[in-house]
Amino acid sequence: GEHWWHHANAPHVLEPGSAADTHPYPVELDLPAWTVERDIDLRNWLFGFGAGIRVESPAALREEHRQKLEAALAVYQGA
């Protein structure tokens, strides 16, 4: 419902998925394996979304994201 960011000449619109989904704007990126395996900038960008992103595959990247989120949570649980 927020429109402050919308540019009138935007070339495309990201249609939302189900309103019941916790992540209603699905985006699928098909990347070469070497990028997923070794690109630290990609990881920093993805993981920078914190809990605002759900990595579905590959499983190793999903697990790495889960571990980073758990490590961040552990910092606050010990406080």
Residues 62-73 have pLDDT tens digits of: 999 999 999 999
Tell me the two tokens of residue 55: 């990595």
Q: How confident is the model at residue 5 (pLDDT cuts 50, 70, 90)?
A: low
Q: What is the pLDDT of residues 17-56, one digit of tens each?
A: 777 877 777 777 888 888 888 899 999 999 998 988 889 8
Nearest to 61 by CA among 37, 39, 40, 45: 37
Q: Tell me which DSSP letter residue 5 carries.
A: T
pTM above 0.75, yes or no: no
Region 56-62: mean pLDDT is: 91
- pLDDT at residue 13 in the model: 65
Distance (Å, whole) CA 79 – CA 57: 33
